[in-house]
């Protein structure tokens, strides 16, 4: 893939519909560098119709103010009650969780300062019902986990499940916040950021990956890691995730995946190479094998599911 086309999935535009006859069209030159994220502005419900009409016409060509996709919120709200069912619609997330921790451990072990942080602070963005957040909070080297999600029904499930374990109800151990990353207060200083910011199975569900990541970066402390998992945008991934997983095997709820939102590993690398203060990057391809679970598969980051991590340079 040429560098001039490397950030097409990180564009600040609305979702594209997928058509079997063609891939989403490459973005034009004006999107080759991502603009800074736009702060969220809340509109007044008491404005006059004339003002509303004027505002609508003037904002037609503006990028979205929020990276949260309302249709995604609605979709995951409907799945909330079954989130903690290990054989339910979220089964693949439960099975993937051990590999998430393995990948994070490998990233940290490669850092020269890894042993200098005895207790880690996590921020889990798009935590859903708390599968990763709870498991991270139980680790002996964890100081605290802050987990955020904009989906209200899923948030309720996460809070209720947390109360089943007294160890997680210790003040400050695991804190859920029903909010988006745009509305989460920034750290007062870089050093007050988080050691690990996780973003698992989220990037392919937002409207504008570039601005979304821009909001996340300040929350990673110097020397800390941003760790995520997502899906490459290839014909193989479309066949596996949209056709086989949703339509044929039905191991994933219909409508979970939008192929046009997938982000290639090469696009992420290119985007982060253009960011000052971000250096070491690591990738691990993974694949779900029916009957065996998730397996690490070298090279599969080029055509399917993968983990990606980038480390913020130390001050």
Question: Which residues does the annotation place in the binding site for Mg(2+)?
Answer: 201, 204-205
Annotated binding site for S-adenosyl-L-methionine: 100, 126, 149, 200
Backbone angles phi, psi at 294, to 5 degrees: -80, 135
Domain boundaries, the chain: 84-312
* Model pLDDT, residue 244: 80
pLDDT of residue 315: 74
Query: For position 174, what pLDDT does the model report?
Result: 98
- In this structure, the strands spanning 174-177 and 194-200 are unpaired
Contact 262, 231 (CB under 8 A): yes
**Residue 79 has what pLDDT?**
65
Per-residue DSSP letter, 84: T
Superfamily holding 84-312 = Vaccinia Virus protein VP39 (3.40.50.150)
**Closest by Cα among 284, 280, 147, 274 to 210:** 274
Concatenated DSSP letters of 199-267: EET-GGGSS-HHHHHHHHGGGEEEEEEEEEEEE--SHHHIIIIIIIIIIIS--S-TT---GGG---HHH
Binding annotation:
100, 126, 149, 200-201, 204-205
3 state SS of 78 = helix
Mutual angle of helices 152-162 and 70-78, in 10-degree steps:
40
pLDDT mean for each 10 residues of the chain (315 residues): 41 34 31 32 34 39 59 66 84 93 94 72 96 97 96 92 96 96 96 97 91 97 96 90 80 80 95 94 93 90 94 89
Model confidence over 29-80: pLDDT tens digits? 222 333 333 332 223 333 333 343 333 433 344 444 577 767 666 666 666 7
Nearest to 199 by CA among 86, 279, 310: 310
The 10 Å Cβ neighbour count of residue 62 is 9
Q: What is the pLDDT of residue 191?
A: 94
Residue 258: its pLDDT value, please?
Answer: 87
């Amino acid at each position: 893939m040429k560098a001039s086309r490397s950030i097409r999935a990180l564009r600040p535009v609305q979702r594209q519909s997928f058509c079997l006859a063609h891939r989403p069209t490459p973005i034009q030159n004006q999107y080759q560098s991502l603009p800074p994220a736009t702060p969220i502005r809340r509109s007044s419900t008491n404005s006059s119709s004339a003002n509303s009409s004027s505002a609508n016409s003037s904002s037609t060509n503006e990028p979205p103010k929020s990276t949260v996709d309302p249709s995604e919120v609605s979709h995951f709200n409907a799945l909330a009650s079954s989130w903690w069912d290990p054989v339910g619609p979220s089964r693949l997330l439960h099975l993937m969780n051990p590999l998430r921790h393995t990948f994070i451990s490998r990233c940290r072990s490669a850092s020269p300062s890894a042993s200098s942080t005895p207790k880690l602070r996590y921020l889990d963005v798009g935590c859903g019902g708390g599968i990763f957040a709870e498991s991270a909070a139980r680790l002996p080297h964890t100081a605290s986990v802050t987990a955020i999600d904009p989906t209200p029904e899923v948030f309720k499930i996460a809070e209720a499940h947390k109360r089943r374990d007294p160890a997680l109800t210790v003040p400050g151990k695991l804190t859920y916040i029903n909010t988006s990353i745009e509305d989460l207060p920034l750290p007062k200083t870089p050093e007050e950021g988080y050691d690990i910011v996780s973003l698992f199975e989220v990037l392919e569900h937002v409207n504008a990956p570039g601005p979304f990541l821009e909001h996340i970066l300040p929350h990673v402390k110097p020397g800390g890691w941003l760790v995520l998992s997502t899906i490459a945008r290839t014909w193989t991934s479309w066949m596996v995730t949209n056709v086989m997983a949703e339509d044929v095997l039905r191991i994933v709820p219909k409508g979970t995946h939008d192929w046009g939102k997938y982000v290639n590993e090469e696009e992420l690398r290119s985007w982060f190479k253009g960011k000052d203060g971000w250096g070491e990057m690591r990738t691990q391809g993974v694949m779900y094998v029916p009957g065996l679970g998730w397996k690490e598969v070298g090279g599969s980051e080029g055509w399917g599911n993968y983990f990606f991590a980038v480390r913020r340079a130390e001050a």
